[in-house]
Structure 1
Amino acid sequence: METLRERKKQRTRDALLRTAVEMFVARGYDGTTVDDIADAVDVSARTFFRYFAGKEEAALALQELAVAHYLRAVRERPAEEAPVVALRRAVLESWDTLHEVVESVVPVEAYLGMHRVIESTPVLLAAHLRRNAETEDTIARVVAEREGLDVDADPRPRLAVAVFGAVMRVTEQQWSACGDLSLEGMRALTIAYLEQVGPALAGNWRTD
């Protein structure tokens, strides 16, 4: 059972994260300092660093929650599903239930707003892409385990996840650049782009 002390620590962390996200979205990452965040929560900067290594960790914390949520969805897909089908259904399921995870800390709109902040901030984008590569490695290992394969000997899990990850990256970029920053907009774009994978890889693109 969670103790009173643990609940208080979680409330403080959530308050710092919520405030950081709100400030990053409103002011930009570079326009927000650790002192700004700590002052708004009425704690010291030292307290902030008890929960986060720095601004970057706070800025990417919601994405970490979403990734963990997606990984759970992948692991819980039925064993009889083909790998790419499992990945597709897991990402749509995780979008449909994302509010259950994120809204314990911030409104979904704030989480979605952070995507644009990340895309427009080079240091955050670099960290985000690095973490994406780590996530793809984890997913490839999950897929290999599902299929009874050796991920280091059989290239198929990594290839499938690499293609899938590239589609999701393009989706993020296009969604962040468009005017519809809604969860429904992201979900619709995800479906549309995933449906293009087969035709894009196997089809003839020329119109003449």
Structure 2
Amino acid sequence: MTAVGLRERKKEKTRLAILDAALDLFLEQGYESTTVDQIAGAVEISPRTFFRYFTSKDHLVLWFHDHGEGIMLETLESRPQDEPPFTALMHALRAVLSDMEGSTPEDSERFLKLRRLLDEHPHLVGQSVARGAETERRLAELIAARRGADPDEDQLSHLIVAFAMSTMRVGFECPRRVGTVPEITGRMAETIELAERSLRPGWDV
């Protein structure tokens, strides 16, 4: 293990410790009542150190968006340029599923705590939706580039992304019960297959 590798592992351990402490405090005493100072104190770090890992308390709630977006963007950029855009996006969604399926028990617990937090604090859903819109915009830029189109003008690129991301939302939310992570990923896989069967080949060209 190199010195750089050790530093990265230590940073990741600290990041997850902050996240775990924050989720527990949010669920125990309420999101609004929890301060950055309290989160930092629970991990025995300074607030200044907290801000090296997260830009704000809200950023903690959106950690899954950040992680999922990174996987989708990386996967989409790696797909063959002549692959149909919607197909490439379905591969990006399946990469997210694969990551979830390979998650540790600790990762799964964090994800389910976040789902519970959103259910108990509906006003946070708006932040989640806004963060999702940022991801869709970045994906639309990549899809438009694949199509040789202007992302600010090409409606089809945005529609392709909207269809793909709605597939993920339906998989997450229908049926409404949270369930276990394997149940959620199973529903998402079924929804992806349903979307692929429902659209005429070539519609996204």
- The superposition leaves residues 55-93 of structure 1 with CA deviations (integer Å, 9 ceiling, x where unpaired) of 111221232122111211122122232111111122112
Q: Who is 1:190 aligned against?
A: 188
Contact persistence 1:19–1:40 (CA under 8 A)? yes
Aligned counterparts of 2:163 and 2:141: Cα–Cα separation in 1: 15
The range that moved more, 14-23 or 59-68, is: 14-23
Alpha-carbon distance, 1:21 to partner:
3.0
Determine if the alignment matches structure 1 residue 173 to structure 2 residue 173. yes
Contact persistence 2:37–2:47 (CA under 8 A)? yes
Aligned counterparts of 2:36 and 2:187: Cα–Cα separation in 1: 35
User: Cα gap change, 1:120/1:70 in structure 2, threshold over 3 Å: closer, same or farther?
Assistant: farther
Determine if the alignment matches structure 1 residue 54 to structure 2 residue 56. yes
* 1:178 counterpart SS class: coil
- The superposition leaves residues 31-68 of structure 1 with CA deviations (integer Å, 9 ceiling, x where unpaired) of 54333322221123343244333211122123212211
Contact persistence 2:21–2:43 (CA under 8 A)? yes
Alignment size in residue pairs: 197
Alpha-carbon distance, 1:132 to partner:
0.8
Alpha-carbon distance, 1:26 to partner:
5.6
TM-score scaled by length of structure 1: 0.76
Aligned counterparts of 1:81 and 1:56: Cα–Cα separation in 2: 37
Q: Who is 1:107 aligned against?
A: 107
Q: Who is 2:45 aligned against?
A: 43
Q: Who is 1:149 aligned against?
A: 149
Aligned counterparts of 2:8 and 2:94: Cα–Cα separation in 1: 33
User: Cα gap change, 1:55/1:143 in structure 2, threshold over 3 Å: closer, same or farther?
Assistant: same
What amino acid sits opposite 2:134 in the alignment?
E
* 2:81 counterpart SS class: coil
- Residue correspondence of structure 1 range 12-23 to structure 2 within 5 A: 12-23=14-25
Aligned counterparts of 2:119 and 2:129: Cα–Cα separation in 1: 10
Instruction: Report the identity percentage.
Output: 33
Q: Who is 1:206 aligned against?
A: none
TM-score scaled by length of structure 2: 0.77
Root-mean-square deviation (Å): 3.1
User: Cα gap change, 1:80/1:119 in structure 2, threshold over 3 Å: closer, same or farther?
Assistant: farther
